[in-house]
Structure 1
Amino acid sequence: MEKEVFVDCAGRNLTYFPSIPKFTTSLDLSNNAIVEISNSSVFNGMSVLQRIDLSNNPLEEIAVQIFSGLQNLTELIIRNSMLHKQDRTLILDDLIADLIKLRYFSFTFMLSKSISFTPVICALLFRTQPFGKIDKLHSVEKLEIDSALLKLESNAASTVIFNATSLHVINGFVCYHDVLNKKMFEYFPFLKELFIESPIFVKFINDDFVSARSSLRYFSIYGANLPHPLGVEIIYNVTKSVSRAYDLSSLTINGISNHKRQKFICSYDFCDLTALHSLTILNLEANALFLPNAYVLPCDNFPTSLTYMNIDDNCINSFNINVNILQNNKQLKVYLLKDKIIVLLCVHMPE
């Protein structure tokens, strides 16, 4: 394309770093078998390079100065690597030191394929921040990091990442945090989007961990059918926390529990969300959610600003909820509770 050169080397079973044209603007090396890139000069002279994707390679070692000089690089994606094996020599700040235009940075680790693996507490596995500091992310707007890279030091708030508006925290490393709390996010003061995927890396989520994020508009947790006892009571704590984030417009908590557990555990509850006057989208799907009191209409716990609500695949039945919710939520257009009561889509509510 005019002024842009895309080099697609994805899925070629490469075990080595190939020779790349100097005028490349976008390079895709994902889904290969590259174990190491020890030559720090492979990108020399590629000053127009804007995007690099090294995802889904079993990378165990990478030259720390490999991206030096790529001052036009805006996207660097290293997802599902094995670079935790280089933790004593790989310093993230050194890795991205010269990337002054970096806007999107993804750095996550490959989850162990062993069913029997036992995660270690991050504080025990790493006495200090793994891979050194992550303070050079000042230009990054969208950040996807492994859970192990959340700040561990007590002075986490001393580093402020002003430009980050979107944060995606994903599991992948064999360690976990005892508690997920607001201190772990204080160095992202202007987050608008927070996504937590497969929270198998945390035992407990404090009810204050997101309430202090005054700029937050979109918040999502995508579960991983968490096994007991890691399937903790996070629904109530999360909804209690977001009930104080008044400007939130979208809340998603999906898949915290699986179908097998629903046969035995139907005790998850949620906090009153009526204070969320800006909330328009609510997803609480597949969480073993249970409304114990059939005489208390759940519409009393939902804000009247909703236009979309999905509470399907829970332990809720027609005795727990009824169509009176439509009378208290006149703006509701999409309401999903399949197999329990009628699904209402694009409903025009009369005055």
Structure 2
Amino acid sequence: MSSNKTVLICIGTRPEAIKMAPVYFEFQKAGYNTKLCVTAQHRDLLDQVLQFFKIVPDFDFDLMTPNQSLNILSSRILNGIDALFLREQIDLVLVHGDTTTSSVIALAAFNRKIKIGHIEAGLRTYNRYSPFPEEMNRQLTGRLADYHFAPSEKAKQNLINEGVLEQNILVTGNTVIDALYTADTILNAGYESEMIAELNKNIDFTKKVILVTGHRRENFGLGFESICNALVELSQDDKIEIVFPVHLNPNVQEVVYKRLSNLNNVHLIAPLDYPTFIWLMKQSEIIISDSGGVQEEAPTFGVPVLVTRTVTERQEGVAAGCSVLVGTDQDLIVSKVKGILLNTKETIVKHNPYGDGNASRKIVGYFENRYDRA
């Protein structure tokens, strides 16, 4: 692909922004006409990441509204991206992972016969409702994509089993590690923020810090209640500090604040910006989370993750001992936390199976090697 071609990178959520930022910079560095489109199916959290990496979108649909249905969101993304395709000459669309933004934009690009690259391709649970709607978003995008950038050999094999030609797959590692190294370099250079200062003021980091996050739809209701019950039980140990940046979704906030408010060593805080979250991750002994990104990031800092899901598409971490599936089982969560705290040597994460920080360069190199650059 020659450098005068236009590459459109599309994102809608904070995790996509983190994972696509290094890709955006690598395409720019290689001389491509690189454009960024944000649907903003998330708004504030997305903007925080863009500001940290000093990226200004070329196109912004600004679609976030409270509690909009997936179908309404999908229709608005489809209308917005199709109008953009009619106005602009786009040669390659790059989408990421498993969001509604990714699957709908891939569909729109396919309908306009625009080539599609899928970054973080091939992850599977093969349970269509877990995670919901992400599992089917990822599978649909995989069927539409022309080029597949798999984070691992396991993901590559999933794609081959589904009939994708091996020549159209490249194993790259995960771009989240590229972003993580960049962020950690900035933090180590003396990065300061009001959020970090506030955490240092309010949390006793001489204790065992447990970082908690949660947002998956399949855990709404009884699942989050059970997780909260586990945290109540763990909070009885005064050697533990629990820090829970509470997702903005009302289905999360209602349960969490009802069950966990007024516990001295449970700190319910607003969602953190990306660099502060990375900083807090490094201070933590254990992370309890349903986040895919956290499963990928935490091994770099040697922090084990208890995954509050019954299945995960990030099986490499489980196999390497970086993460443990605990679902929303109160007793299992509590027992695993206590086991890790008592047996730290047995839970040391020796390496990160998700990449070495060179994924973005490999993706750009794929196109440089595959197409005429004249």
So what's the TM-score if we normalise by structure 2? 0.27
User: Per residue, is there more helix in 1 or in 2?
Assistant: 2
Considering Cα pairs closer than 8 Å and 6+ residues apart, tell me whether 1 or 2 has the greater RCO.
2
So what's the TM-score if we normalise by structure 1? 0.28
